[in-house]
Structure 1
């Protein structure tokens, strides 16, 4: 990104290790290693022909997702960098299930992480907001007079987490009181979130507004800041789909950005999202703002833990 050093890819850690002997009553088990690495061991017990670990982009090699078998115990150990987290399932003979040995379940997925969850997601005893259903999604109103506006795309996925996060950030003074619009994507998500000018022009705003999104929503957040700089002063883009569209002319938005008036964007992408690193680096060269890599993949659980960092940066700039 402008005025920032270029991204220097870090060498990947070793992919897998032999699974150490352990009591497979709890999965996964995390063991600290040297040099900022951890070993994460997944286990499953039962009769099956094949068991796989389904964690987004944990491995490039599909065969490395297959768990090893010792009797009726299936196991696989991966080496990850400290700070890594993921939502995952197990595939048992082709059927995806939550990990029965893992008590941590979120939205039907099991959770593995080598770092504590974001403190901004801790529920408060009493909410500090009102949340109302609107035609376009939901509206968050803080109890204090608002001094800013936030638009979050794919709002149906944020109804539980975003109000808690904003309550905590505002109460701690990390964000000004904001009115937030959780804009629902609906069944035509791809049509709405692929640089659709009609959709962007219809988004709510009031005063200086920040917009945030993930995947196609991350693409559209940057597009909105580019198309309507009179409305959106900054964007937070998590794992943006900047490769779009498929075909002979990919990365359309990168070519559309004006070098003379680059939008302010705070980019986030997972270290495991190898397919996104090139497009993200290329669009980053045409933007103002910041760049952050988190340890993980294309994973909504990662996004919920990282969004607060992007919002704090956006409102501080």
Structure 2
């Protein structure tokens, strides 16, 4: 996903540890180091000249991705915070593959995590929603009369997960019944989601409306709440690209927020070094109108799907019941 500035220096490689003297027939192997950290060991067995672990922002395209070799066993152990998760692939002599030792596969990626997946993503009984196709994307209609509206950007990525999540949240009383619009971005994503006033003005809304997005979508969600506070009462931004634009005047939106304070819930991953500074500066500008959560992981859609429910609960809690 090319939503990051291209010239941000990388931090030091992630800490690595010796492989534990345990059976490495399962990958990844998670062991407790202390209350706040886990050792995650990836392994692969076979003949190769080079094997890499490609986990977004933890190892991707760096020497830290290289596995060590003991006979025909390739392995690498990383020290990660408790609560860390990632989608990843292996690169075996340059060929990308899922991890053959890991049965957990999601959208073509293997999954590693040190905590259980979000319970809000577990399908219940019979579906309680209707998902209908519209020119802008899809719409979710709750069973009970809606009391609020949700707009989720990059909606094409949420068709499977969002209906399940909303069914569970509404059924548990964690959210009011909402109509949700899953707004598709398509091939013009970079243009539409980078503080585009025409795009924001065309977004659907009805009553109290919360808007959510990830990466460029996270930038667009906060911009929408800033530009149209008459329509969007709160924004949920996951790994927002607040560095935008590249060039001599970066972090444009943060400067635009001077004197205004939309209600925002910000999330960013522990491995997202390029976003830490821009997110902190935007958070300081928004001040008391923001809430913040740092999740264990990188610029990774698997992390976002597990963290979105927390953001929605926080955002909708600010609405009058």
TM-score tier by shorter-chain length is: over 0.9
Shift of residue 186 of structure 1? Answer: 0.8
- Separation of aligned partners in 2, 1:251 and 1:13: 26
Q: What's the CA shift string for 1:11-57, capped at 9, x where partnerless?
A: x9970101122322210010111242111000001111111100011
Shift of residue 262 of structure 1? Answer: 0.8
Q: Which residue of 2 aligns with 1:310?
A: 311
In the alignment, does 2:118 pair up with 1:118?
yes
Q: Which residue of 1 aligns with 2:33?
A: 33
Shift of residue 91 of structure 1? Answer: 0.8
The RMSD of aligned alpha carbons is 1.4
Q: Which residue of 1 aligns with 2:262?
A: 263
Q: Which residue of 2 aligns with 1:208?
A: 208
CA contact (8 A) 2:35 2:82 kept: no
- Separation of aligned partners in 2, 1:139 and 1:25: 44
Q: What's the CA shift string for 1:111-133, capped at 9, x where partnerless?
A: 00000000000011211111001
Change beyond 3 A, Cα 1:13–1:168: farther
Q: Which residue of 1 aligns with 2:192?
A: 192
Paired residues for 1:3-42 under 5 Å: 15-42=15-42
Q: Which residue of 2 aligns with 1:46?
A: 46
- Separation of aligned partners in 2, 1:286 and 1:145: 37
- Separation of aligned partners in 2, 1:35 and 1:16: 18
- Separation of aligned partners in 2, 1:198 and 1:34: 50
- Separation of aligned partners in 2, 1:258 and 1:229: 15
User: Any gaps of 5 or more consecutive residues in structure 2?
Assistant: 1-11
- Separation of aligned partners in 1, 2:234 and 2:85: 27
Q: What's the CA shift string for 1:193-241, capped at 9, x where partnerless?
A: 1011110000000011000000000000000000000000000000000
In the alignment, does 2:47 pair up with 1:75?
no
User: Any gaps of 5 or more consecutive residues in structure 1?
Assistant: 1-11
Shift of residue 147 of structure 1? Answer: 0.2
- Separation of aligned partners in 1, 2:131 and 2:46: 45
CA contact (8 A) 1:13 1:79 kept: no
Q: Which residue of 2 aligns with 1:292?
A: 293
Give the SS at the match of 1:64.
Answer: helix
Q: What's the CA shift string for 1:123-175, capped at 9, x where partnerless?
A: 11211111001100000000000000000000000000000000000000000
TM-score by length of 1: 0.94
CA contact (8 A) 1:15 1:59 kept: no
CA contact (8 A) 1:13 1:81 kept: no
Shift of residue 62 of structure 1? Answer: 1.5
CA contact (8 A) 2:53 2:60 kept: no
TM-score by length of 2: 0.93
Q: Which residue of 1 aligns with 2:280?
A: 281
CA contact (8 A) 1:44 1:74 kept: yes
Moved over 6 A (4+): none
Shift of residue 59 of structure 1? Answer: 4.2
